[in-house]
Amino acid sequence: MSVVLSLIVFLPAVVAAALLCVPSRVPGRVFVGTWIATGLADLGLIVAVWTGLPASGGFSFEERLPWIPSAGISYHVGVDGLSLPLLALTAVLFTACAVFALRETRRVKAYVVLFLGLQTVCLGVFVALDLILFFLFFDLSIVAMYFLIAGWGHGERGRAAALKFFLYTFLGSLALLLGFIVVFLAADPHTFDIPTLVTANPLAGGGAAAGLALLAIGIGLAVKTPTVPFHTWLPPAHTEAPATGSAILAGVLLKMGTYGFVRIAMPILPATWRDYALVVVVVGVVSVVYGALVALAQTDVKRMIAYTSINHMGYVLLGVGAAGLAPGTDEQARQLATTGAVTQMVSHGLITGALFLLTGVLHDRGHTYDMGAYSGLSARTPRFAGLFAVAAFASLGLPGFSGFIAEFQILTGALAPAPIPTAVAVTGIVLTAALFLVALQRLFLGPLRIPDAPGAPRPFADLHAGEALAIVPLLVLATVIGLAPRFLLDVIEPAARTLNQLVAR
Amino acid sequence: MPSGYPALLVALVAVPLAAGALLALAGRRADRLAAPVSVVLAAVVLALAGAAAVLRPALDAPLMAGIRAGLAVDGLSATLVLTVGGVLLAVLLVAAGEPGLRTGRFAGLMLLFAGAMLVTVTATTLAVLLMAWEVMGATSWALIAYYRRDAAAVRAAHTAFLTTRTADLGLYLAAGAAVAGGIGSLGLAELPGAQGAWLHVVTVGVVVAALGKSAQLPFSFWLSGAMRGPSPVSALLHSATMVAAGAYLLLRVAPLLDAAGWAASAVAWVGAATALLLGLVAVAQTDLKQLLAASTCAQIGYMVLAAGAGGTAAGTVQLVAHAATKSLLFLAAGAWLVGLGTRQLDGLRGAARRFPLVGVTFSVGALSLAGIAPLSLWVTKDAVLAAALDRSPALYGVGIAAAAVAAVYSAKALWFVWQPAAPHAVRPEQEPSGWVAAVARPPLAVLALLAAGLGLLPLLGTGVLAPAPAPAAWELALSAVLALAAAVLTWRLADRLPAPAVLSGWLGIERAAHALVVRPTLALASALARFDDQVLDRAVDGAARTTVRAARALDRRGEHPLDAGVGGIAAGARALGRWARRPQTGQLHQYYAQASVGFAVLAALAVVMIAVR
């Protein structure tokens, strides 16, 4: 039995525990440097797992230890093509945030320790193969993020937004737990083990219990994803969070919701998923269009990006919903839809992570997210403008970047099973183009205007090397996936095929 | 799928794409070298295009589940890659003479654009075509908005990108429909085999996207605003390449149009209508670039007409001849804009006399555009019309009327630039430099030669360059006489031509699009944003507040009485205790008295019990 996954997951926590013993008067760079090294080590291990993943599909690198045997709970971890890309995304984003944090000056020790803890928790979600283990990591992520927003956010409003975030998503995870318990009770023998439950398919007969389980799990995941109408915690949380917190929140925490659909809801409740797939599709399409339209009306750049996350996550729901419609008919279409949904999770993490780090740079210089306060920045900060433009075009799904590979697969695959919803969802492509063009125009084109400090004009520096070093790799990865996606799709496709077979049972 | 020389194809598209991306992102450091480097790279691209046209390379690779990525150069693509390479080189040479355009950003974006166009015309599957197609749209946005402080240019760039992208949605739907219809590879050549109703969805999607990109009706308006961009951009994008890409796509998928039945004649009629109506719009313009832009829509209308009428070769020769002619005209207009500071026809009086080389080359282009024999567009347009006549005399009638209109707008432009310089010069829109760069002259001369001589193509060409049916002698004579007559008549009336508002305003479609699409969308967006803030978010906050309020109420109404009850029980117990303590006095005689009373009561009780029994 290989322990590499446990090593990947708990390395950051162990490092965090060690850092706790270091006095806080040690320079902040030591803490951040340790964090960067930890992130790179994790990344190296994940690359090793990536190269060692068999092409056949199924779980690899599994570890299983009894934990609470009397309740059917075990420490069970493993990866497949659905989880490994997200595991890699998590490590990449945390490392990028670590590099970005080189400029952080406030309570650096606590900041780094908290982030390392969050890193363990986030990695844990994507390898957990036990519902309770999954739930534990899922919930702890909320706790750590709460402290990040409250402690390093923007003052009093930050604490209010953090509280809202915590309570809303915590309520969501309670719904999730309720669903897990229903599934547990339906299984014979009672167990929380995901592969066992997938094989047993305990609620295949349908009925009220199956509907209740999917409803509870669905709402729990929908809050986290988030989809309309459960999304209102997201904009304030993003606006008040520090840049790195926003990048992780959008890049990793939202993926826990969508990942839950492909890891838990679809394979454990296939029959019920098929029955209600149209609901999922509709929720996805509403999120796509509604998120894009509301984003179009924003004047605060961070709120705008937050709403585009709702739009992008809507595509994921469209993809996984379409895979449940008309099962067994057009295999290629469903294959495209589910593969596209997983690709979209990775792509959105990279691109939106970069966008949130860039808005952090903007706030650092101008102390406001209001787009009306800026104009013509491309003349003063060409590097920042160039990277922001690249990230914006990537986010609006321009080919050559990962977003297109994801959205094209989802839309192409979803048209056959769900023609009308997909035709509606396609309009989101034009809406996101419009909103990013308007944002680029407000911030970067026209005559130069930057918010003045009272008295002397504030210096408005271009991107620093450290900031660029954090952001550029994310966009490079998004471009590599956009131009040569096979290395990623080769990992996702076998797992997506297995998933489609499980849903079609 | 045959695969040969894949490295050549990769080089052909990767050189401009990679170099363009690097130059565009290099920032101001690259400005000094940008112009010469871009010219050298364009020459390399042209050489690679020549090699590709001879060797006909192809490559094919998996892209997504079942979907292929393929590039190949066949006869049609060979013509197109040579056209793109040639125009790119000419345009970059001329742009090197404009100080404002000697930047890494400009050169990089132009190369990036050209690379995307090269991928578009060599793509063998819908997925790759769509990728390049959209990159073209995005780079055209950046190029139209090249003068970043010009708010009108930025707005025009938005209009261009959003209009073409809206039409591009057709390609997204076409891809989905192709998969649904059983064409899993998305191969362009296989699309006519799509099953059932999906065939029609594929066709509609492809046609809409092509019409949008080619600025055909009803999408023509975006090309008007795009004229705010630099003239070399218009010479590359809005004459020879991007707008031509739509026509190319329709020529490429002509079998699909035929398979769908209705599509071929619908496309032919849209092309004919655009040729006529946008020709009339061109006549009504007072700005040279606007006139040229409207005439571009009209001339591309002929290519679209050819695609619908089954004249693939005719459409191809029209595309090539028009590319040379129109990029020449845009470059000349740009040279005058730099030299004289204006593009208003009134302000350009005497322009041809002041800069004779530009004047002569412009005249060759304009005469070709007018359809004057024996210049190139006279022949190629008649090749298109011959195909149209084969399908329907009515199509031919509209087409020949549009040819007369073309002679009118071309002669109008010529008349203005050959007038004696006006004494009351119009105020220039920008600072005139008073000269034309030497580097711009050779490309203009070469393009003029091509604009004059490419009419030989249909006579000498084979395969995709040999139109069938060839135009009959009477057709050629008729159109030559008609064009000459219209041109002569125009020469006499040039400054008295009617310009109704509907024509000078490009048929009012942009205003209609704003009123019917843009404004309602923005209104819906802000309404939903208000709903999000004031209903959804308030509801959540309200739920939280209600919870707190319920807790307080429970505290007041439930907790207090409950606590009071518990307190009451305690107080009662305490009172009982107090009473129970009363007898505990500690004095013996009182205890005796209590005990005797107690015994007495017990005795009385015993007596009563016995008595009752």
Kindly list the domain boundaries of chain B, sorted by start residue: 6-504, 511-582, 584-613
| B449-482 pLDDT tens trace | 999 988 888 777 777 788 888 888 999 999 999 9
| Angle of helix B288-308 versus helix B312-340 axis, rounded to 10 | 170
With contacts defined as CB-CB under 8 Å, which chain B residues touch A427? 169
pLDDT given at position A450: 87
Of A335, A400, A427, the CB nearest to B131: A400
Interchain CB distance below 8 Å, B65 and A447:
no
Across A486-502, average pLDDT: 94
What is the number of alpha carbons within 13 Å of residue B204 lying toward its C-beta? 9
User: Does A58 map to a domain?
Assistant: no
Among A311, A415, A489, most B C-beta atoms within 10 A, so best to mutate, is A415
Domain that holds residue A482: 276-452+460-505
Residue A455 has pLDDT above 60, yes or no: no
Contact A438 B158 (CB under 8 A): yes
> Does B489 lie at the interface with A, CB-CB under 8 angstroms?
no
Q: For position B465, what pLDDT does the model report?
A: 83
CB contacts of B18 in chain A (<8 Å) are: none
Smallest Cβ–Cβ distance between A232 and the set B67, B177, B537 belongs to B537
Minimum Cα–Cα distance from B21: chain A residue: A390
A388 contacts chain B (CB < 8 A): no
Tell me phi and psi for residue A351, to 5 degrees. -75, -45
**Cβ contacts (< 8 Å) between A382 and chain B: which residues?**
27-28
Q: Which residues pair with B71 in a beta bridge?
A: B59, B123
In angstroms, rounded to a whole number, what is the distance separating the alpha carbons of residues A412 and A405?
11
Residues on chain A touching B67 (C-beta within 8 angstroms): 336, 412
The residue-averaged pLDDT of B491-497 equals 86
| Predicted structure pTM score | 0.92
More confident residue, A57 or A320: A320
CA B493 centroid distance within chain: 37
Helix (H) or strand (E) holding B261: none
Write the residue in B151, B162, B176 that is nearest to A415 by C-beta. Answer: B176
| Residue in chain A lying closest to B163 (CA) | A430
Judge whether residue B123 has pLDDT over 90. Answer: yes
| A470: closest CA of chain B, how far (Å) | 17
Contact yes or no for A382 and B28 at CB 8 A: yes
> Among candidates B66, B62, B64, B63, which has minimal Cα distance to B184?
B66
Flag if B64 and A485 touch (Cβ within 8 Å). yes
Q: Decide if A492 is inside a domain.
A: yes
Residue B395 neighbours by CB distance under 10 Å: 22
Residue B532 near chain A (CB below 8 Å):
yes
Cβ atoms of residues B312 and B250 within 8 Å:
no
The pLDDT tens digits of the residues spanning B440-450 come to: 899 999 999 99
With residue A63 as reference, give the H or E element that holds it.
strand A60-68
Partner-chain contact A332 B141, CB within 8 Å: no
Q: Is residue A432 domain-resident?
A: yes
Closest CA to B250 of B173, B189, B323, B304: B304
B172·A408 Cβ contact <8 A: yes
Phi, psi of A77 (to 5 degrees): -130, 160
* CB–CB contact B172 A429 (8 Å): yes
Give the mean pLDDT of A436-447.
Answer: 92
Tokens standing for A194? 């995901």
Separation between Cα atoms, residue A435 and residue A296, nearest integer Å? 5
Residues A333 and A342: their CA atoms lie apart, in Å, by 15
Q: What is the DSSP string of B538-590?
A: HHHHHHHHHHHHHHHHIIIIIIHHHHHHHHHHHHHHHHHHHHHHTT----HHH
Q: Cβ of B391 under 8 Å from any chain A Cβ? A: no
Question: Which B residues 166-185 touch A at CB under 8 Å?
Answer: 166, 169, 172-173, 175-177, 179-180, 184
The pLDDT confidence band at residue A456, using thresholds 50, 70 and 90, is: low
What tokens appear for B321 in the block?
């001849």
Predicted pLDDT at B431: 82
CB atoms inside a 10 Å sphere around CB B546: 10
State how far residue A207 is from chain B, nearest Cα, in angstroms: 31
Q: Which of residues 314-343 of A touch B (CB under 8 A)?
A: 330, 332-333, 335-336, 339
Task: Give yes or no for B204 touching A (CB within 8 A).
Answer: no
Q: State the count of interchain CB pairs (< 8 A) between A and B.
A: 147
Q: Is residue B145 less than 8 Å (CB to CB) from chain A?
A: yes
User: Quick one: what percent of chain A has pLDDT higher than 70?
Assistant: 98
| Touching B: A residues 226-245, CB under 8 Å | 229, 232-233
Find the residue in A nearest to B158 (Cα).
A437
User: Which chain B residues have a beta carbon less than 8 Å from that of A337?
Assistant: none
Span A141-145, mean pLDDT? Answer: 95
Q: Bridge partners of A79?
A: A60
- pLDDT of A304: 96
Judged by DSSP in three states, A300 sits in strand
Asked if A293 lies within 8 A of B131 by C-beta distance, the reply is no
Please state whether beta strands B67-72 and A60-68 pair in parallel, antiparallel, or not at all (unpaired).
unpaired
Helix axes A419-444, B151-180, angle to 10 degrees: 160
Question: Tell me, what's the ipTM?
Answer: 0.93
Q: Is B382 helix (H, G, I), strand (E, B) or coil?
A: helix
H/E run at residue B49: helix B31-55
- What does the pLDDT read at residue B425? 62
Are B180 and A416 within 8 A, CB to CB? yes
CB A416 to CB B176 under 8 A?
yes
Band (B1; pLDDT cuts 50, 70, 90): very low
The predicted-structure confidence for B274-314, as pLDDT tens digits, reads as follows: 999 999 999 999 999 999 999 999 999 999 999 999 999 99
Give the ranges where A367-485 is alpha helix by DSSP (H).
377-380, 382-395, 402-415, 419-444, 465-483
**pLDDT > 90: what percent of chain B?**
75
Residue A301 tokens read as 């750049």
Q: For residue B598, which of B610, B590, B587 has the smallest C-alpha distance?
A: B590
Q: Are A332 and B184 in contact (CB < 8 Å)?
A: yes
CB A73 within 8 A of CB A135: no
Residue B505, classed as helix, strand or coil, is coil
Bridge partners (DSSP) of residue B61 are B69
- Who's near B605: CB < 8 A, 6+ residues apart? none
What distances in angstroms separate CA B284 from CA B292, B351, B385, B502, one per listed residue?
11, 20, 25, 9
pLDDT at B498 over 90: no
How many domains are contained in chain A? 1
SS3 content of chain A, % helix, strand, coil (to 5): 75, 5, 20
Q: Which of residues 475-494 of A touch B (CB under 8 A)?
A: 485-486, 489, 493
Closest Cβ–Cβ partner in A290, A333, A445 for B179: A333
Q: How many Cα atoms are found within 13 Å in the side-chain-facing hemisphere of A279?
A: 11
* Contact check, Cβ <8 Å, A441/B173: no
Select the residue of B27, B67, B134 nearest A398 (Cβ to Cβ): B134
Which one-letter DSSP state was computed for residue A128?
B
Rounded alpha-carbon distances, angstroms, from residue B322 to A62, B329, B369: 65, 10, 8
A351 within 8 A of A94, measured Cβ to Cβ: no
For range B212-216, the mean pLDDT: 95
Residue B141 at interface with chain A, using a CB cutoff of 8 Å: yes
Q: How far is A446 from chain B (nearest CA, A)?
A: 4
Q: At residue A241, does pLDDT exceed 90?
A: yes
pLDDT at A453: 61
Given an 8 Å threshold on Cβ–Cβ distance, is B544 in contact with A164?
yes
- What is the model's pLDDT at position B559? 85
| Min distance A116 CA to chain B CA atoms (Å) | 32
Closest residue, chain A, to B145 (C-alpha): A445
Contact A414 B176 (CB under 8 A): yes
Pairing, β A73-79 against β B58-64: unpaired
How many Å lie between the alpha carbon of B91 and the closest alpha carbon of chain A?
25
Nearest to A294 among B162, B521, B529 (CB): B529
Interchain proximity B165–A335, CB inside 8 Å = no
Chain B residues within an 8 Å CB radius of A444: 148
What radius of gyration, in Å, describes the C-alpha atoms of chain B? Answer: 39
Residues B452, B449: Cα–Cα separation, whole Å? 5
Query: What is the distance between the alpha carbons of residues B399 and B299, in angstroms, rounded to a whole number?
Result: 10
Cα dihedral A28/A33/A34/A38 (nearest 10): 140
pLDDT number for residue B42: 96
| Alpha-carbon distances, residue B41 vs A9, B114, B441 (angstroms) | 49, 11, 20
- Lookup result for tokens 């620093």: A464
Of B173, B521, B522, the CB nearest to A415: B173
User: Which residues have CB under 8 Å from B73's CB, separation 6+?
Assistant: B9, B52, B53, B55, B56, B57, B58, B81, B122
How does DSSP classify residue B123? B
Give the pLDDT mean for B166-189: 94
Nearest CA in chain A to B130: A399
H/E segment holding residue A77: strand A73-79
* Residue B97: φ, ψ to 5°: -85, -10
Chain A residues 418-457 with a CB less than 8 Å from chain B: 419, 422-423, 426-427, 429-431, 433-434, 437-438, 441, 444-447
Residues A150-187: tens digit of each pLDDT: 999 887 888 889 999 999 999 999 999 999 999 999 99
- Give yes or no for residue A55 having a pLDDT over 60: yes
Q: What 3-state class would DSSP assign to B147?
A: coil
Q: What is the mean pLDDT of residues B126-131?
A: 96
Q: Nearest CA to CA, how far is B35 from chain A (Å)?
A: 20
